[in-house]
Amino acid sequence: MLQVNNLSFKYNKSTVVLNDISFSVNSGEHVCIMGESGCGKSTLLKVIYGLFDTNKGTIFWDDYEVLGPAHHLVPGVPFFKHVAQDFDLMPYISVSENIKKFLSRFYPEEAQQRTDELLKVIEMESFANEKVKNLSGGQQQRVAIARALAKEPKLLLLDEPFSQIDNFKKNSLRRNLFAYLKENKIACIIATHDGNDALSFADKMLVIQNNRILKSGTPSELYNNPTFKYIATLFDDVNEITIDNKLQFLYPHQIKIIPTSDLKGKVVNTYFKGYYWLIEVIYNDVSLFINHDIMIKKETIISLQF
């Protein structure tokens, strides 16, 4: 179990990056950290991995205390793995050789079996003998994830792990990866901008704003009850509306266009989204975004239901 207690970190005396961060991660649990750029997500992963010395607080995995470079000649926790956004792969050797690099040479058959297993997880069996320098950024990202899993870490730290991967590969890769982690009881902390990472695969979610945890809970709790607009915007477009003197945050699918009502709006724009249209409406001098199943012409006056 990972236990982060009252963690604070500064890059220098004046710049606070993390402020009084506390949370826990159970063995095999998946935690998603979300927040705007610069809020401290990536730095938090590096501190947990042991790449930086903390200014305050403690980090433990069970009875093992995670300490930074001031205490270790080679920073990093041996049974954690951190996949950063720069990948740090060996470009002039093959995909398979990159994965095998951290496996025992004394057991070549087991190493090959393990490599084949991970190539299947990242859906790159056909690229096993391709040199990494010839791969796209998204393919290199997948190799970095497989290499991190080679020795089955107790905790995997992923920093925007799908940011360079094409959408048609991203969904299946996510399913494969998180299923593999669950099956092997590998805990995971993922820092991401993509709400789909949290909604579909996380057991718990932390929202960071202004360098501290704004809210934590299950993804469904935070999605269905966004007490702050900042939280709601991490998942989708959000409409800020006062209903019965109470401020509410509604997603586009929570506002309906109906045949008639006392609430009127004017269509100012439409956006084709595939199986639905996103309709932009002016209501009481405020722009609202509404999901609708058909296109509506601009300037049309419509009736609304919240």
Phi first, then psi, for residue 165 (nearest 5°) are: -95, 135
CATH domain 236-305 topology:
OB fold (Dihydrolipoamide Acetyltransferase, E2P) (2.40.50)
- Long-range pairs of 125-130 with CB within 8 A, sequence gap ≥ 24: 127/95, 128/94, 128/95, 128/96, 129/94, 129/95, 129/96, 130/94, 130/95
> What's the rounded Cα separation, in Å, for the pair 141 and 295?
39
pLDDT score of 305? 95
pLDDT score of 170? 86
Alpha helices by DSSP H, listed for the chain, are: 41-49, 95-100, 108-121, 137-149, 167-183, 195-201, 219-224, 229-233
Architecture label for domain 2-229? 3-Layer(aba) Sandwich (3.40)
- Residue 98: C-alpha distances to residues 131, 132, 238 (Å): 9, 8, 43
Q: Which of 121, 126, 166 is nearest to 144 (CA)?
A: 121
pTM for this entry = 0.90
Q: Say if residues 52 and 43 touch (Cβ distance below 8 Å).
A: yes
pLDDT tens series, the chain, 306 aa: 999 999 999 988 778 899 999 999 999 999 999 998 889 999 999 999 999 999 899 999 999 999 999 888 888 899 999 998 887 889 999 999 999 987 877 778 888 999 999 999 999 999 999 999 999 988 999 999 999 999 899 999 999 988 888 877 888 999 999 999 999 999 999 999 888 888 889 999 999 999 999 999 999 999 999 889 999 999 999 999 988 888 999 999 999 999 999 999 999 999 999 999 999 999 999 999 999 999 999 999 999 999
Q: Say if residues 208 and 41 touch (Cβ distance below 8 Å).
A: yes
Locate CATH 3.40.50.300 in the chain. Answer: 2-229
pLDDT score of 248? 92
Q: Which of 35, 47, 39, 42 is nearest to 9 (CA)?
A: 47
* CB-based contacts of 230, cutoff 8 Å, min separation 6: 36, 207, 209, 214
* CB-based contacts of 39, cutoff 8 Å, min separation 6: 208, 209, 210, 211
Locate CATH 2.40.50.140 in the chain. Answer: 236-305
Q: Which of 85, 71, 32, 81 is nearest to 216 (CA)?
A: 32
